Amino acid sequence: MIDSTGTWTTESLFDALQGATLFLERKASLELIDGVEPALHITMHEYGDLPVFITVAGDQIIAESVLWSAEEVRDQVGLNDAVLRTHKYFPLSTISLDTLAHGKDYYHMFGALSSTSDLANVVFEVEVLASNVIQATEAYADFLITPNEAQA
């Protein structure tokens, strides 16, 4: 499953994950997004169909999920301060602010593993990330614009 150098590729990880209990029990679904930089799209059904994306790049496997767009944040300075002071409470994950291709900023939660990690650790990372995303959404909810505020 891992290539001859002992590291995962996105494609070999896709093949291996299809046999993982998480997917066999339909707690999540898996899709390979082909392209110049292939990625895996995982839908975590037990977490409200939360999308998680995995890429393998060199020595790292990155698992990430979008939290919110910066436009959805009422108080970015306050949120950034809170994240820097509390992100350590979300094991194996951290939060970044990234500009996507269309020029908008988004908060992401991500975890990184070695591309030589065993399959059980990759699955564990995905499950922990999904749980952390839900917890972060609850923990930082006071910084987000509510639907009522958005309509005003």
User: Which of 134, 150, 126 is CA-nearest to residue 28?
Assistant: 126
pLDDT band at 151 (very low <50, low <70, confident <90, very high): low
Q: Which residues contact 5 (CB under 8 A, 6 or more apart)?
A: none
Look at residue 36 in the predicted model and tell me its pLDDT. 85
Q: Which residue has the higher pLDDT, 101 or 66?
A: 66
Residue 5 has pLDDT above 80, yes or no: no
Round the average pLDDT of the chain to a whole number and report it: 93
Contact 13, 61 (CB under 8 A): yes
Task: Confirm whether pTM is higher than 0.85.
Answer: yes
Half-sphere exposure of 8 (CA within 13 A, CB side): 27
Please, what is the end-to-end C-alpha distance for the chain in angstroms?
Answer: 53
Q: Which residues contact 142 (CB under 8 A, 6 or more apart)?
A: none
Contact 80, 68 (CB under 8 A): no
Q: Whole-angstrom Cα distance, residue 52 to residue 130?
A: 8
Q: Whole-angstrom Cα distance, residue 107 to residue 99?
A: 9
Domains of the chain by residue range: 10-142
pLDDT (average), residues 121-126: 97
pLDDT (average), residues 5-32: 95
Look at residue 3 in the predicted model and tell me its pLDDT. 57
Q: Whole-angstrom Cα distance, residue 85 to residue 101?
A: 29
> Which CATH number is 10-142's, of 3.30.1460.10, 3.30.1360.120, 3.40.50.980, 3.30.70.1060?
3.30.1460.10
Phi and psi at residue 92, to the nearest 5° = 70, 5
pLDDT (average), residues 138-143: 96
Residue 114 has pLDDT above 60, yes or no: yes
Beta bridge partners of 112: 62
pLDDT tens-digit readout, 51-82:
999 999 989 999 999 999 999 999 999 999 99
pLDDT (average), residues 116-127: 96
Look at residue 7 in the predicted model and tell me its pLDDT. 92
pLDDT (average), residues 79-105: 93
Contact 142, 72 (CB under 8 A): no
